Structure formats: C-alpha cells, structure tokens
Amino acid sequence: MGANRIHLAVAAVRAARSSAARGGGRRRALAVPVLAVVFAAALSGLGGCGTGPAGDRSPAAGGAGRSPADGGPGNPTPVPTGPYAARLPRFPAAPVPEPVTVPDGPLAGWYSRIPTEQPVAFLTIDDGWIRKPEARQLLVDAHVPVTLFLTTNAVKDDPDFFRGLPDNVAIEAHTVTHQVLRGKSYRTQRREICGSADRLAAWYGRRPLLFRPPGGSRDDTTLRATRDCGLKAAFFWTETVDKGKVRYQTAEHRVHAGDIILMHFRDRFVDDFTAALTAMHEAGLTPALLGDYLR
C-alpha cells in the first residue's frame, strides 16, 4: 500500500509542476505550497499500519503488535546489523504461528519441544548472572525472536541491562534463587515461581506467562505451583549450547521443527548465540517466540 501512495504522490507532483510551468510566474508562485499539500495528502496513510497502543507491542500479546520492521510472524526477517552481523545467518520470513492449546487442569503444561510441523525452532536463554555488553548488542542487532528465562536474584543488581530490548525478545520466569524445585514443598515452589514472575513484572511492565525450572528439574508440585501463579506452561529443552558447540539429545545431530534450544548468559555468549542460530539455519528452520506457539 505504501508504494502505491508514493507513486500517486509523485504523479501528482509532476502534474502540478507541468501546470505551473504552463501558467507562468503566478502559478509557479502558488505551486510550492500546493505541491507540499498534495504530497503530504498522498502520503498521509503510510503510518496507518502502526502498532497501536504501546501495550500491544509487548511480548505479552504474543507478537500481535509487532510491525513488519520488527520481523514478526509473516514478515521478512530484518537483516542482522552491528559488529557481529557477518557471523549471523539470514532467515526467511517466519510463518504465521499455529499455536498449540495448553491443556486445562490443575497443572501447567510441560514441554521439551513444541508439537508443530511449521519450520520453526525456539532459542531460549537462561539465568542472567553474566551480563556482557556484547550479549545485549546481539539481542538488539540479530533481529530474531528470543525467549529469556531470567532468575531475579541473578539480575537484581542490574535490571536495566534487560530494559528497552526489542519486541522480539520476551522475558519469562526462572525462579528467584535458582534452586532445584523437585521435591520441595508447595509453599517453597510457589514462592520461587510467583516471586520471580512478580518481580519481573515490576521491572519490565509485563508479567511472564512461561516458566523454566532450574536444571529442568520438576515434579507435579512444580507444575501445580506454576499454574497457580498464573503461568500457562513450563519448559525443558531438546538441544543445549555451550562454548560455541551445540549438544544434541539425539544421534541425528540436527535441530527439528518445534525444538527448544537452551543456552545461558555466559562468557562465550557470542559463540553460543551464533552456533544456535547457525544450527537452526542449516536445518532449514526459522527462530520463533515460544509464547507465539501456545494458547
């Protein structure tokens, strides 16, 4: 639609100029403000595809408010920018998500992968203990969807590090203290899960909907507390990345559609981040947000 308006504007300007040239000095004098009005009117609808209220741009809306420039579902993925652009693969447009329904009941959903045939995989990053400037730079410059599971005690000394990230980066819950939850009392687990979700909401203006237990260790009490804290699902993983190497859980050594890749905020963040995206790209997959694939 924007291209058509630009063509109309150009045509209108040319016509006005031609008329001014034929009409002599007085028409030429009038032509300047007329041209400005014509051009502005023709272009006035270009901002009509905006993102609406600021709240609609948050990851809580499942990406519904993301504009084409953000590389949301169905839109071309922007070209990576910044000092690490040459190391990052380029991805085709992500498909419009076909979310799975989390079952009702007293327990939150539990997933190590998303049951989808769409050509997507999910990059998730845990903790937040080590916060290097290049990590934030990549989250901004890569223009790919990433889900962060943050431990509040890990980031409480510098919550600003994760403020102002683009809409394609979603912040989810990962407990307060990073303790193993399996076998702990309901009270302890609820305090860890609800406490982290509440703190993240206070810092970043959106309460998480997803949860990852530290170490992936969980029991039914974990999933009950997760649901009672208002979170819809909890997650394990299918691949991990460390020191620039992808570690597969199967002998095939390939990322599959729906796989969840786990990495951490560590010293070699750049190597891990690029290795994860490269593995997705080699498998013919495009990164997607976990929250976009659950309802």
pLDDT over threshold 50, residue 248: yes
pLDDT for residue 12: 39
Number of H helices and number of E strands within the chain? 7, 10
Percent of the chain scored above 90 by pLDDT?
A: 72
Cα–Cα distance for residue pair 85/273, rounded to 1 Å: 12
Condensed to tens digits (0 to 9), the pLDDT of residues 81-121 reads 999 999 999 999 989 999 999 999 999 999 999 999 999 99
Residues 239/202, Cβ–Cβ less than 8 Å: no
pTM for the whole structure: 0.77
CA distances from 110 to 12, 52, 87, 88, 295 (A): 59, 33, 33, 31, 13
